[in-house]
Amino acid sequence: MKESRTLLIRYDEIGLKGKNRKYFENRLARNIRYALKEIEGVRIEKVHGRILGRVDRKDADECVQRLTFVPGIASISIGVSMEPDFDKMAEWGIGLIRPKLDNLGQLKFCVRTRRSNKLFPSTSTEIDFEVGSRIMKALSYKGLSVDIKRAEFVLEIEIGPQETLVFDNRVPGLRGLPVGSSGQVLSLLSGGIDSPVSTLKLIARGCRVHSVFFDNRTFLGRGGYDKVVRLAHILNRYQGGGKLYVIPFQDIQVAIRDYCSDANRVVLYRRMMYRIACALAESKNCQGLVTGESLGQVASQTLENLAAVSCVVPMSVFRPLIGMNKQEIIAQAKLIGTYDISIEPQPDCCSVFMPDHPATRSKIQELEADEKCFPWEDLMARAMDAVETINLDEPG
C-alpha cells in the first residue's frame, strides 16, 4: 500500500464571516482542489474549521509549495496518521528534528497536543510532556531545548476520535480571502515594480483580477509586451482563471503629442487609459479598477493628478499601494516573485514623448480643453476593437 500524508490547511479570516462561513470554506476548498489538480489521488476534506488534504507521501512537499500560492490559507503542515503511542510519536518527532539540529547546531522546540477524543487516557498536557521528554532524551545532547513561547519547531499532535495525527512545523500561507469570494476587478498592469504588487493585493482580498496593458510597440518594440505577459502569468498562479487584455496605445499617444499641451501629456495618457480600462471592465463584469499608484512617487501621482484621472471614470479605483514607500513595495515584489522581471530595462509607454516639465497640478478645465482638440472617442473605440485577449491559464 502507498504511504500517505495528511496536510492540515488552516485558515483564519474566513472564521469571522458568520453566516457566510460555509460559502467561504467551500470556495477555499474548491480553490485548493484546483491548485492541486495536476497531482494524482489528492483528497480534500472539510473537518471542524480546518481543511485536510490526503496525499501521497512523495507529493506532500509539492502540494505545500503549491498551497503557499493560494489566498485564504493561514498555514499548512504535513502530518502523518499513526497509532496514539508515545514512543512512536516521539520517534516521528525525532526524525523531523534531527536534520534541523544537524543544520543549525541548536534548536528550541515544543510539543502541542489537541485531544478531541476524550476517551484517550492522558490529557493534552500529559501527552506534551510524555512525547517531549522522549524527544529531549534522544536529542538534548545535540543542542535541543524546550521553549514553549519561542519554539522554532513545534511538533503538533491531534488525538481525534478516529485517528491520531502528528504534524511537522507550520509553513505560512498568503492569508487573506479565497479568490472568487469578492467578485472581479481589472488591474492596470505595466511592466514596472508597482502594479504587479497592487494586483496581488486585490487577489489576496478574494478578487479574481484580470489585467489590461497599454502597449506602444510601434515606438518601443515588443520587449514591454513580453515582460507584461510573463508578469501576468506569474500573478495568475495565485488565482487561475485570469485574462490579460492588451490595448494598442500608439495612435492615442501620437494624437495627444500632436494636438495637446506638452505639460499635460502624461495625465492625458492616463485619462485615456482609465477610460478604456473602465469600458473594458464594464464589458467583462469587473467592479473596479486597480493601479500601482503611490502618492507622490512620480509627477503623475500627486493628489491633483490622481483626482484628474479618477474623475473620468464612474467606477471605484483601488490603489492599494497609495501609502507605501518604494522600499516596502520592492520587498513585496521580491516576495511574490515579480521583481526580477520588473527590473528588466524596458521603457513604459507613459515615458514616450515625455515632456521636459510635466504638470504636477494639472487643472481639469485645461485637460478638458486639450481633449477637445483630438477625436478621443473615435481613437478609444478603435483601440478597443483591436484588443488582444490572452487566457493566462494557457501556458505562456
Interface with ligand ATP by CB under 6 A: which residues? 188-190, 192-195, 212-214, 273, 291-293, 297-298, 300, 348-350
Q: Least Å distance between CB 374 and ligand ATP?
A: 19
Residue corresponding to grid cell 507529493: 59
Residue corresponding to grid cell 490572452: 390
CA distance 243 to 172: 28
Which does residue 25 touch among ligand ATP, Mg ion, none (CB within 5 to 8 A, set by kind)?
A: none
Which does residue 214 touch among Mg ion, ligand ATP, none (CB within 5 to 8 A, set by kind)?
A: ligand ATP
Q: Least Å distance between CB 183 and ligand ATP?
A: 19
Nearer to Mg ion, 190 or 216 (CB): 190
Judged by CB under 5 A, the chain residues 334 through 363 that form the site for Mg ion are: 348
Nearer to ligand ATP, 68 or 297 (CB): 297
Q: Least Å distance between CB 299 and ligand ATP?
A: 8
Nearer to ligand ATP, 36 or 193 (CB): 193
Q: Least Å distance between CB 314 and ligand ATP?
A: 19
- 190 near Mg ion, judged by CB under 5 A: yes
CA distance 34 to 234: 16
CA distance 342 to 334: 10
Q: Least Å distance between CB 72 and ligand ATP?
A: 25
Three-state SS at 320: coil
For residue 330, CA distances in Å to 136, 198, 224, 320 come to 42, 12, 19, 14
Nearest C-alpha neighbor of 5 from the set 76, 72, 75, 74: 76
DSSP secondary structure string for all residues of 186-204: EEE--SSSHHHHHHHHHHT
The region of 6-14, 25-33, 38-46, 191-199 touching Mg ion under the rule CB under 5 A is: 191-199
- 192 near Mg ion, judged by CB under 5 A: yes
- The residue whose Cβ lies closest to ligand ATP is 192
The cell for 240 is 487561475
Binding mask 301-340 for Mg ion (x = CB under 5 A): ----------------------------------------
Q: Least Å distance between CB 354 and ligand ATP?
A: 11
Q: Are 13 and 176 in contact (CB under 8 A)?
A: yes
Strands 208-215 and 316-318: unpaired
Q: Least Å distance between CB 217 and ligand ATP?
A: 11
Which does residue 300 touch among ligand ATP, Mg ion, none (CB within 5 to 8 A, set by kind)?
A: ligand ATP
First to last CA, the chain: 38
Strands 208-215 and 243-248: parallel
Strand partners, 288: 316
Binding residues for Mg ion, rule: CB under 5 A, are 190, 192, 348
